[in-house]
Amino acid sequence: MEPHPRDPGRAAWLLPCLLLLVLPGVGAQAVQNFSLQQPQTKVSVAAGEKIILNCTISGFAEPGPVRWLKGWDSGNKTIYDQKSKEPSPRVTRAVPGSGTDFTIHIEKAQPADMGTYYCVKFVKSDGLTSVDKVFQRGNGTEVSVEAQPSPPLLSGPEQRAEPEQPVSFNCTTGGFFPKTIGVKWFKDKDPMVAQQPQVTEGGVKTYNMSSTVMVTLQKADVRSQLICEVQHSTLQEPLRERYQLSRVLRVPPSLEVRAEPSLVEVNKTVTFTCLVKEFYPADVSVSWLENEIGIKVENVSQPLELSQGLYELKSQVEVQATEEKNGSMITCMVVHDSQAPASKSAFLWISNPGQGGLSKGFQMDKGDMVIYIVVGVVCTVLALLVAAILYLIRTKQIKGKSSPSARLHEPEKSSEATTQESDPNNLTYADLNFERERKTIRRMVEMSQQSEYACIQTNQAPNGDDNLTYADLDMVHLSKAPKRPAPRPEEASSEYASVQITRK
């Protein structure tokens, strides 16, 4: 029996069947050998630098693109798509066209680029939907962008302040990451104590900082400066900002007005000088008034800068010393830095030479005039007090001469008297002047040129008899007087005292 001849049509369909039996095994082996490598766990760059994200694949997989995603789940964002026809201008392939190396570069990193990035292999869907399915993804790379703080901005008050006034200054910076930041303040080279800096969230993954310091201005701060120094981990050297305190300082001037010469004749010229001393800033204007009426000044003076940075100015005006200007008030008015005007005045006094006086032109400010008035009033009051005291003393002396008198003499002998020899030449007399109703009086009474003084003390009688007045005498020494008759008692209005003197 002859074999059947080979059928060429059978061989044609048998080969595809064998291939169908073999290909499924090959595809399963390819899936098992596929690998996606994303080796970087964390990447940290400075703002403006390039971010490099590594991703490689190996083996075989079903058809589908490779993509880079920022974030995962519903919040993800596609950064790179292999099949995209419009790639981002900042994202490029490290090896363009490679089928295994999908490393990308992100140019000019920004704080907004911070996040976690995933390299993902997608495959085509089953045809029911147009959405590709995730086949395999990497472990993810956490990207952080360290942003340097912006140059600090130092600001002060809007208006100028005078010495001894506290002023607030503020230093700000922003756009930095990480959050930790330090601030230091200096006045010239001296450190200052400031408040704790305030750090707040700024844009995406960035922070802002604000720091405040209080400064008490001084007169010598015209050349001083305030320094704000910012320190951050992204900086090799601190950032510094300087502020000249002269921008907010105002030193009001002190005024002095004088006339030269101090002595001047009538119809001569007196030069009044206004000294505007130690002021800042230099913006100042000076005007002159005579009895509140403006005086035209031809030469306008300019401020002169002193060594410490302050200014001074000298303005002069000439006034004719005529008699009708006697007592005229010359005023220097100063307006500094658009503030309220300040003034200082002087007076011109002229005396008439024809009346024997000197021609004088001198100034006297209001304070001196008040002093002279007060001194005159005090002197007048003192003179009145002295006159009143003298009047009272004189009145008392006149009244004393009209007071009652007593004449003392040695009493006659009696049986009750003490026994002693009677010697008329040893009698001593004393005239006593004393006032009634006074308890104690000491007087020195002179009898004559040959008598001596006696100290006499009068006291009220113990029994209260109004008709008697006693006199106790302490006789130191009495010289003998010529013999003369005993005095007669005075009139009824006088008091009488009998004194017995014992000889030693």
Please name the residues in contact with 243: beta carbons below 8 A apart, sequence gap of 6 or more: 154, 155, 156, 169, 225, 226, 227, 228
- What does the pLDDT read at residue 122? 93
**Is pLDDT at 316 greater than 90 in this prediction?**
yes
- What does the pLDDT read at residue 406? 40
- What does the pLDDT read at residue 4? 42
Q: Are residues 480 and 373 in the same domain?
A: no
For residue 312, the cross-strand partners are 304
- What does the pLDDT read at residue 125? 76
Q: Alpha-carbon torsion 85, 88, 89, 91, what sign?
A: negative
Q: Is residue 6 part of a domain?
A: no
For residues 305 and 447, which has the higher predicted lDDT (pLDDT)?
Answer: 305
Q: What is the mean pLDDT of residues 49-62?
A: 94
- Of 18-22, 42-46, 260-264, minimum mean pLDDT range: 18-22
Task: Give per-residue pLDDT as tens, 191-201.
Answer: 999 989 999 99
**Is pLDDT at 237 greater than 70 in this prediction?**
yes
- Of 307-316, 341-350, 365-374, 471-480, minimum mean pLDDT range: 471-480
Residue 147 in 3-state DSSP?
Answer: strand
Q: Are residues 355 and 258 in the same domain?
A: yes
Q: Which of 338, 364, 390 is the last residue in one of the domains?
A: 364
Q: Is residue 495 part of a domain?
A: yes
- What does the pLDDT read at residue 351? 65
Q: Are residues 201 and 226 in the same domain?
A: yes
Rounded-to-integer distance, Cα 212 and Cα 394, Å: 81
**Confidence band, pLDDT 50/70/90 cuts, at residue 396:** confident
- What does the pLDDT read at residue 488? 54
Domain that holds residue 225: 153-247
**Confidence band, pLDDT 50/70/90 cuts, at residue 418:** very low
Task: Give per-residue pLDDT as tens, 328-375.
Answer: 999 999 999 999 999 999 988 876 544 434 433 344 455 566 687 888
For residues 329 and 410, which has the higher predicted lDDT (pLDDT)?
Answer: 329
DSSP E strand stretches across 38-90: 42-46, 51-53, 56-58, 66-70, 77-81
Domains contained in the chain, number: 5
Q: Are residues 358 and 294 in the same domain?
A: yes
**Is pLDDT at 50 greater than 80 in this prediction?**
yes
Contact at 8 Å (CB) between 288 and 272? yes
**Is pLDDT at 255 greater than 70 in this prediction?**
yes
C-alpha pair distances (Å), 425 with each of 71, 422, 496: 149, 9, 22
- Of 128-137, 168-177, 281-290, minimum mean pLDDT range: 128-137
- What does the pLDDT read at residue 408? 41
- What does the pLDDT read at residue 436? 46
Q: Is residue 119 part of a domain?
A: yes
Q: Are residues 189 and 283 in the same domain?
A: no
**Is pLDDT at 168 greater than 50 in this prediction?**
yes
Q: Which of 196, 213, 247 is the last residue in one of the domains?
A: 247
Provide, rounded to the nearest whole percent, the portion of the chain with pLDDT above 90.
50
Q: Which amino acid is at 75?
A: G
Return mean pLDDT, the chain.
77
C-alpha pair distances (Å), 114 with each of 55, 117, 147, 206, 228: 18, 9, 11, 10, 30
Q: Are residues 455 and 472 in the same domain?
A: yes
Q: Are residues 218 and 287 in the same domain?
A: no
Q: Is residue 10 part of a domain?
A: no
Cis bond before residue 281 (omega within 30° of 0): yes
For residues 468 and 146, which has the higher predicted lDDT (pLDDT)?
Answer: 146
- What does the pLDDT read at residue 177? 92
Q: Which amino acid is at 175?
A: G
Q: Are residues 360 and 373 in the same domain?
A: no
Cis bond before residue 178 (omega within 30° of 0): yes
Contact at 8 Å (CB) between 447 and 433? no
**Is pLDDT at 171 greater than 80 in this prediction?**
yes
Residue with tokens 């700024």: 202
Q: Are residues 275 and 337 in the same domain?
A: yes
Q: Is residue 429 part of a domain?
A: yes
- What does the pLDDT read at residue 494? 44
**Is pLDDT at 176 greater than 90 in this prediction?**
yes
Q: Is residue 24 part of a domain?
A: no
Task: Give per-residue pLDDT as tens, 439-468.
Answer: 443 444 444 444 444 444 444 444 444 444
Q: Which of 130, 146, 162 is the last residue in one of the domains?
A: 146
Q: What is the mean pLDDT of residues 2-25?
A: 41
Rounded-to-integer distance, Cα 184 and Cα 170, Å: 12
Q: Are residues 35 and 142 in the same domain?
A: yes
User: Which CATH number do you get for residue 289?
Assistant: 2.60.40.10
Q: Is residue 102 part of a domain?
A: yes
- What does the pLDDT read at residue 426? 47
Q: Are residues 214 and 267 in the same domain?
A: no
DSSP annotation of 211 reads E
Task: Give per-residue pLDDT as tens, 114-136.
Answer: 999 999 999 987 666 677 899 99
**Is pLDDT at 182 greater than 70 in this prediction?**
yes
Q: Are residues 409 and 391 in the same domain?
A: no
Q: Is residue 230 part of a domain?
A: yes
